[in-house]
Amino acid sequence: MTSETIFALSTAPGQAGVAVIRISGSKARFVLQEMSSSFPEPRIAALIKLFDPEDKAELDRCLALWFPGPGSFTGEDVVELHLHGGRAVVDGTIEALAKLPGFRPAEAGEFTRRAFDNDKLDLTEVEGLSDLIAAETEAQRKQAIRQMDGELSKLVEGWRDRLVRMLAYLEAEIDFPDEELEEGISDQVKHKIEELREDIRHHLDDSHRGERLRNGIKIAIVGPPNAGKSSLLNVLARREVAIVSDVAGTTRDIIEVHLDLSGYPVIVSDTAGLREIEENTTDGIELEGIRRAKLHAESADLCLAVFDIEDSDNFDQETLRLLSSTSSFVAINKCDKTDDNEITPVSLSDFDVTKISTKTGEGIDALLEKLNTWVVANMGLSGSSSGITRQRHRSALQECLDSLGRSLETDLPELCAEDLRLATRYLGRITGKVDVEELLDVIFRDFCIGK
C-alpha cells in the first residue's frame, strides 16, 4: 500500500481527561518503533512512554493500541494513542507525528473514506456511522445503528442479487441460444421482475419515516393572532424562546425549538398569527409572516392549531382547510378565563381538541401525551421499517422501479436485459457497489457454460 499515513485527534478538541489520536497507513508501525518505549501485542492495550522521534523528549505516558491491517477500522495498519487530554500533550504529539516521514494530518472523513475504499464499510454503513455520531435522541441512535450494521445494505444487496440472477438468465438466453435452457424463461423472469417491483414499492411506501426520523419530525403551531401560540411554544420548550405580548401580530418569523418526544426528535415551530388582511395593507411584514406561516404549516408533519377559548370562532376558512388537509390537533387555550367547559365550536368538532391554559399549565400534559402518542404511532420503528433514511436512497429506488417498469414493456430479451442492467446500477448506487463482473460469475456458476 503506497498511500500516506494519516493521523488526527479523534476525540473532541479542548481539555479533557483522555484524548485519542488515531494513526492509519502502511507506516503506522513507525509510531510504535520510533516514538514508543515498547511495541504492544495486537489489540491489547499497553502502557507506553511516548517520545518525540527526534529529540527523544518524553511527551506522555499513555495507552497504545496496535491494530495490524486488514483487521482494523480502515483496513490499514492502525495505531491508537490514548493520551492524557491536555492541550500541550495533544499538540506536542501531533507535532511529533508530523516529523515522521510519510506522515500527514488526516483530512475530514479520511479514515472513513479509507474504510470504504478497503471494503470495510459500504456507503449506507458510512451514512449510518455519520448518523450515529450526529444522533441526538434514542430513536435516531437506534436507526443509525441499524443502518451501520448493514440493515439497508443487506436489503438492497438482496434485491440486487435477485436482479443479477434474472439478468444472468436473460443474458444466457441471448448469448447462448443453443444451450438447453428451460422453456418460457422470459415469462419466468417477468414474473420475478413483478415480484421484485412489489417488494421495492412496499419499502418505498413508508411515509418517509426514516428521513423524518433522521431530520426531525416537524410540528407547526398555527392559529389566529393572540391565541397564545408563542406562549405554548415557550411552555413546550420550557424557556422563553418567543416573544409573548397582547399585541396581535407579534410573531412574524418562524421560531423553532428542538424537543425529544419519547426518544424521537421533534422540531416545533411557532408561526405568525393567521388572519385575513388586505393585500395593500400598510403592514407588509405581517403579510409576509402569514405567507410563511401557511407555507410552513403545509410542509409540516403535524399541525397544532391554537385558538383562544373566548374567541375560538376566529379563524378564516383557509385555516380550517389547512387543518383538514394535514394531520392536526387543536388546542383551545386560555381555559383559565372561563368556567364553561363545554365550549367547542361546531366547526372544530371534527378535530381532536384539548383544552389548555399556558398560564396555569392546565391540559398541557394531556396535549403532550397526545403528541407523544402521535409521534410514536407515526414514526415508530416497526419491524417492517424500510431503513430508507435519505432522499438519495429514495431516488435511486424510484429510478430502479422505473427501469423495472420499462423492462416489462418489451418482449425483446435484449431490451429487457438493458433495463435490468440499469436497475441493477441504480441499486448499486445506494451501497456504492457498481461492479458488473459478478454477472458473469453467476452465469458460470448457474450454467457451467464453457467448462
Which parts of this chain interact with ligand GTP (CB under 6 A)? 225-231, 244-246, 248-251, 273, 333-334, 336-337, 357-359
Q: Name the H helices within 218-262.
A: 229-237
CB–CB of 150/431 below 8 Å?
Answer: no
Q: Check the annotation: does 228 bind a ligand.
A: yes
Q: Among ligand GTP, Mg ion, K ion, none, what does residue 154 contact (CB within 5–8 Å per kind)?
A: none
Under rule CB under 5 A, residue 250 binds K ion:
yes
Q: Check the annotation: does 237 bind a ligand.
A: no
- Using CB under 5 A as the binding rule, the residues of this chain from 272 to 291 that contact K ion are none
- Using CB under 5 A as the binding rule, the residues of this chain from 209 to 228 that contact K ion are 226
CB of 250 to Mg ion, least distance (A): 5
CA pair distance 65, 206, nearest whole angstrom: 43
5 versus 226: smaller Cβ distance to K ion: 226
CB–CB of 316/276 below 8 Å?
Answer: yes
CA 294 to each of CA 142, 313, 322: distance values in angstroms, whole numbers, following the listed order: 33, 19, 8
Q: Is 289 exposed, middle or buried (0-12, 13-18, 19+ CB in 10 A)?
A: buried
Q: Among ligand GTP, K ion, Mg ion, none, what does residue 197 contact (CB within 5–8 Å per kind)?
A: none
CA 22 to each of CA 7, 101, 116: distance values in angstroms, whole numbers, following the listed order: 6, 17, 17
CB of 327 to ligand GTP, least distance (A): 21
CA pair distance 81, 67, nearest whole angstrom: 12
CA pair distance 447, 8, nearest whole angstrom: 50
Q: Check the annotation: does 355 bind a ligand.
A: no
CB of 45 to Mg ion, least distance (A): 56
**Sign of the C-alpha dihedral, residues 168, 173, 175, 181?**
positive
CB of 223 to K ion, least distance (A): 11
114 versus 252: smaller Cβ distance to ligand GTP: 252
CB of 334 to Mg ion, least distance (A): 14
Quote the Cα angle for 143-145-147, to 5°.
70
At 108, give phi and psi (nearest 5°): -55, 130
CB of 316 to Mg ion, least distance (A): 17
CA pair distance 426, 435, nearest whole angstrom: 12
Q: Check the annotation: does 139 bind a ligand.
A: no
CB–CB of 140/265 below 8 Å?
Answer: yes
CB–CB of 293/270 below 8 Å?
Answer: no
Q: Among ligand GTP, K ion, Mg ion, none, what does residue 74 contact (CB within 5–8 Å per kind)?
A: none
246 versus 278: smaller Cβ distance to ligand GTP: 246
- Using CB under 5 A as the binding rule, the residues of this chain from 242 to 261 that contact Mg ion are 250-251
Under rule CB under 5 A, residue 93 binds K ion:
no
Q: Check the annotation: does 246 bind a ligand.
A: yes
CB–CB of 20/82 below 8 Å?
Answer: yes
Residue of this chain nearest to ligand GTP (CB atom): 273
Residue with cell 431503513: 387
Q: And the C-alpha cell for 80?
A: 491508537
Q: Check the annotation: does 229 bind a ligand.
A: yes
Under rule CB under 5 A, residue 271 binds Mg ion:
no
Selected binder of Mg ion within 143, 147, 230, 314 (CB under 5 A): 230
CB of 372 to ligand GTP, least distance (A): 21
Q: Check the annotation: does 127 bind a ligand.
A: no
Q: Among Mg ion, K ion, ligand GTP, none, what does residue 389 contact (CB within 5–8 Å per kind)?
A: none
Quote the Cα angle for 322-326-330, to 5°.
75
CB of 396 to ligand GTP, least distance (A): 42
Specify the amino acid at residue 242: A
Give the footprint of K ion on this chain (CB under 5 A): 226, 250
Residues tagged in the binding site annotation for Mg(2+): 230, 251
Give the footprint of Mg ion on this chain (CB under 5 A): 229-230, 250-251
Residues tagged in the binding site annotation: 22, 80, 120, 226-231, 245-251, 270-273, 451
